[in-house]
Amino acid sequence: MNPKDSSKVWILFFFSLFVVMVGCQKEVEAGPTAPDFSLSSLSDETVTLEQYRGKVVLLDFWATWCPPCRMTIPQLIELQDKYKDEGLIILGISVDDPGQISDKDLRYFKKMTKINYPILRYNQEVMRDYFSGERVSVPTMFVVDRNGKIRDKIVGYAPDSLKKSLAAVLKR
């Protein structure tokens, strides 16, 4: 075999290996089951995660005093409008202290920012279940797939990461 043919064989070998490796990559596996919760909405309704089984749920832990949270709100409004017919539901879980920010204050904030998704009040159980003793940073978003599995956790203002994560979960 001459050197030219040998180099062609090596190139073909590496190209074939690349195709096999890329073609065999698995889709990202779903994580653990998202803990169910029972939280109060601003309209005094009880909301559970289980009632949204079959939909893609974005849990947004946020606060009114948090600048990155406020920067995220317009994107969440846009995403809710754009993907609601594909089964997306966004649930904003306010971690504001109820002693300082009343439900009336939150309703006003929701109206002024034109939030088009439910706002829920956190409780210690949901914080323990989702953050398990970790230090809580806001905003933190959990992407939950149609089967109730956590597919992604996004901390901070990360619009591109959020769009990619939702696109991956919304496709069937």
Q: Determine the length of the chain.
A: 172
Q: What is the tens place of the pLDDT at every residue in 33-70?
A: 999 999 999 999 999 999 999 999 999 999 999 999 99
CA–CA gap between residue 110 and residue 1 (Å, rounded): 74
- The architecture (CATH level 2) of 28-170 comes to 3-Layer(aba) Sandwich (3.40)
**Which of these is catalytic: 30, 66, 136, 168?**
66
| 66 in catalytic set | yes
| 24 in catalytic set | no
Global confidence as pTM: 0.82
Q: Where are the domains of the chain?
A: 28-170
**Which of these is catalytic: 39, 69, 119, 120?**
69
Give the mean model confidence (pLDDT) for residues 4-16. 45
